[in-house]
Structure 1
Amino acid sequence: MLQFSQPVDGGDRSVRVAFTTREAGNLALHVGDDPAAVAARRDRLVPDLGLPGPAQFMDQIHSSLVAHVEGPVSPAPTADALVTTADDLPLAVMVADCLPVVVSAVAGGRVALAAAHAGRRGLLDGVLRETVSALRAAVPADGGAEPVITAWIGPSICGRCYEVPATMRAEAEQQLPGTGSTTRWGSDGLDLPAGAARQLRGLGADVVESGACTLEDERFYSYREDPGTGRIAGIIWLGAGGGAETRREKA
């Protein structure tokens, strides 16, 4: 489990972030797993992570759609990003090579959180741009001060491993400079984490990158390695307490 925290309100509260591993099991309902087993694994995240309640998942479709949620929603919203200002609603994104990006916006004592699914298509179509825009609208400037935006990019396939046709690399690089890459065996590739980080910084966000590759690191699921694989989750929530920003990793 990869975990991060960042204090707000002088340390009275903190934004908490976690990216699960295979240890937590498959958390997706759309990969042929037993729905009851998936639900039980999702429920276990509450005590395991100290969540204030069950995480809100979404029905991801590789789009730039953003859904605003202020309480649990069932069935899950069809979107590729969720935004909330609720203090007690964790948000979740599922991946197995795509980018899990979770974002916070803090202005004074007000906090908005987001979880975004940024696959190749969604990233190029602007899902992160739409997410940051929605966060800024949810937490407008406080007394003239712009909200502080922080984004965490979780485990995903890296630019050394994500091989694509030359035409796809050229299209992606044109739409989002910094996305094109060369794989470790010398072919055309895409570096989605690099492109996302560059875009997020251009949008005024501080960026924390996990640096983990889902294809190289056996702790994570990889669709490229196994199309029938499960999904990890990126989760963001607001917790009590804080202190200095921490980065903690558990096997």
Structure 2
Amino acid sequence: MRTGDCMACHTVPGQKPFAGGYEFKTPFGTLLSSNVTPDRENGIGKMTERDFFDAVRHGQGSNGFLYPAMPYTTYAKLTDRDMHDLWAYMSTVAPSKHLVSENAGMRFPYNIRVAIAGWNLLFFDNRGFASDAAQAEDWNRGKYLVEGGGHCAACHSPRNALGAEVASKFLEGGNLGERFAPNITGSPNTGLGDVSKESIVEYLKTGSNDLSIATGPMAEAVENSTQYLSDPDLNAIATYLKSLDGSQKN
């Protein structure tokens, strides 16, 4: 739960944890996060563990296809073990009867969930995580955390006109409306090329280092997620990010 930063997106500040209703303003309308508490009426209480797996890893929820604002496109890489642990944790959350109409604010035709089937056909790679035998264990761990649960590309990769991540510019910076998520590849120009692994770890652990202070969505990510990760996991993330070439022109 901490790695995936579930709290940030599924909780409205000041409201019950995981009860949903957090607004995502997109070019296609406003989407609300779902209630993921175990309430049987308005949450996920009627889901089986298999239903939960299908929603998180395949984008197929109780009300039909999920919108890719829910990063099932990266959660597809989560292992069965991690998915089981996440299911077990979410089952302990206090139920909330908060009713959320997730796509009521989406404009036509984007409010038609079945259209996501076409989007998935074009852009969703549902293959699980594949480690690289040529790389060290910590590098592969970092890759798993960055590309899987951490879903870093959701903010730090640019998107095309249909809202899909541009794979050729992985982690090279993304437009978040009023904010811009920076390039976090190892690019020597606008990326992390000159930043030490120690500084990256410090930033993820505390929200600041000698170069910058986390604000906006990244501050929320530190508050709800990265500060809780172990030092070995944070070091693994830094190792993986530093290894990415990025586009040398960026």
More helix by share: 2
One fold, TM greater than 0.5? no
Higher strand share: 1
Flag the structure with more relative contact order, 1 or 2, with Cα contacts below 8 A and sequence separation at least 6. Answer: 1
Scaled by the length of structure 2, what TM-score is found? 0.29
If the length of structure 1 is used for normalisation, what is the TM-score? Answer: 0.29
